[in-house]
Amino acid sequence: MTTGWRYRVLSVGGVTALAAVAVLVANHPFLQHFFTTYVPQFNNLEPTVMEGQYLRRTLLLSVAFTVGALVPMYKPRPRRILDAVFLTGKRVLVSGLALATLGFFQWSHRLPRVTLVLFTGLLLVALPAWFVAIRRPVPGELDRTILVGDDIEQMRSVREAVDGELLGYLCPTAALPVEDPRKVIADGGVVAGLEDLDHLGGLSRVEDVLVDHDVDTVVLAFEDTDRGEFFGTLDACYEHGVATKVHRDYADTLLTADADVGPLVDVQVEPWDWQDYVLKRAFDLLFAGAALLVLSPVIVCIVAAIKLEGEGPVLFDQKRTYLFGETFTVYKFRTLKPKKGGEVGTTIEEDRHTPLGQFLRTTHLDEIPQLWSILVGDMSVVGPRPAQTEIEDEFESAEPKWRKRWFVKPGLTGLAQINDVMSTEPAEKFRYDLRYIRNQSLWLDVKIVIRQVFKVFVDVSGLLRDD
């Protein structure tokens, strides 16, 4: 990643140069003729090639408006590639709208409509690519790295494996060895083995430090990967596109890259490449949207049937765990008689079953409300099934590496489900989930969905034969 001053020079200079080039390219006679001849909605316009003072004024205004609109992008701060692309594109559109508005109120300053569209279109391609390019590491430049954790001993051992420029460390004040006053000086800022590093603050300052110090890499050193602090750090790194590493000796509960060599391994905070992520999200939206549309008559019938049965509310909701140990509410059509305090656990009392509920569970129709969770982004069509938050500890006791499932979005179905592995078998379920995480692809998602649909068909056929 570039240093702060270099990034500012490159960002402002690049925007200025690219905006000027975009005006000149959009003003070229050939492009004007091609656009007004072959592009619908614009093929009834005359080419407008600007010259002299008109061109100079347009060039000045276009560059000034674009440079001004992109001001939020000039501050060096870590961002994911997709965030940089979308934020830059949004600011380019703001610039284009501002130029169009100026032309509406003052005819003498109006950019020709064709030129404005071409200019904006060119920048929508060029500027996001430029901001992504200048955020890439400079050859020969060391990564700017910090240690984050609550295990001082682990920090001491891990720091020797860091290759980049180590800026300092973050840890709770309570974790500093205050029992030995020779090791702590002035506000807990100096620790034996870390004397040459700055104590940058507690774990609550992770996000501020990532931005203020333009951090490239965070090395984790936690005694216990608890939901609050450990996964909060991972979440902050993910949001800002900062690489996350951990010592190989402490990676049991993390999803790491198998190909890594050396003592530090990458934590796969986002196992999918961004292209695959876009395709997966598009697949999720298409599947969930189409399924809700097709199943809308069925939904109405199920709601009416549950109401007529008169055994409680239509929907059942429950807290489930997903990305980085956070929780969300999952909804299903109610299939059991209500139980005071909610339904928690992997076993169900026989006297709470109802004929309608048995039918909904067998046909998997009780899962339909989760299509909405897919649309809003809490879930995916395919992925590890989200576990009940209140019994996560039981699953972790049975499978110590259970938390690796927290690194991918949970799914409506998955490898464990199509192989009939239930929550009562957490170790076996985890093995299927980890296999999916390691080998996930859009094609694998499609195959799992096809097998799940076939499985539903078989279950429904069996129900009809029993009747």
Residue of 128, 13, 122, 139 lying closest to 79 (CA atoms) = 128
* Number of neighbouring beta carbons within 10 Å of residue 452: 18
**pTM score, two decimals?**
0.53
Instruction: Please give the helix or strand (H or E) that residue 12 lies within, else none.
Output: helix 4-26
Token pair for residue 124?
A: 């929508």
Confidence at 186, pLDDT banded by 50, 70, 90: very low
Q: Judging by beta carbons within 10 Å of its beta carbon (0-12, 13-18, 19+), is residue 224 exposed, middle or buried? A: exposed
Confidence at 273, pLDDT banded by 50, 70, 90: low
pLDDT at 25: 92
Alpha-carbon torsion angle 14, 15, 20, 26, nearest 10: 110
In the predicted structure, residue 350 carries a pLDDT above the cut 70 = no
In the predicted structure, residue 370 carries a pLDDT above the cut 90 = yes
* Number of neighbouring beta carbons within 10 Å of residue 176: 20
As a whole number of angstroms, the distance between CA 8 and CA 67 comes to 12
Token pair for residue 281?
A: 């999200």
Reduced to 3 states (helix: H, G, I; strand: E, B; else coil), residue 66 is helix
Q: Pinpoint the alpha helices (H) of 27-51.
A: 29-38
- Where is pLDDT greater, at 231 or 113? 113
For residue 236, give every residue at least 6 positions away whose Cβ sits within 8 Å of its Cβ, in sequence order, or none: 206, 207, 210, 242
Cβ–Cβ under 8 Å, residues 433 and 415: yes
Instruction: State what percent of residues in the chain have pLDDT above 90.
Output: 16
Mean pLDDT of 370-385: 90
In the predicted structure, residue 139 carries a pLDDT above the cut 60 = no
Q: Tell me the domains of the chain and their CATH numbers.
A: 4-134 (no CATH), 144-266 (3.40.50), 274-466 (no CATH)
Q: What is the pLDDT of residues 14-67, one digit of tens each?
A: 999 999 999 999 888 888 888 778 777 776 777 788 888 888 888 999 999 999
As a whole number of angstroms, the distance between CA 385 and CA 391 comes to 14
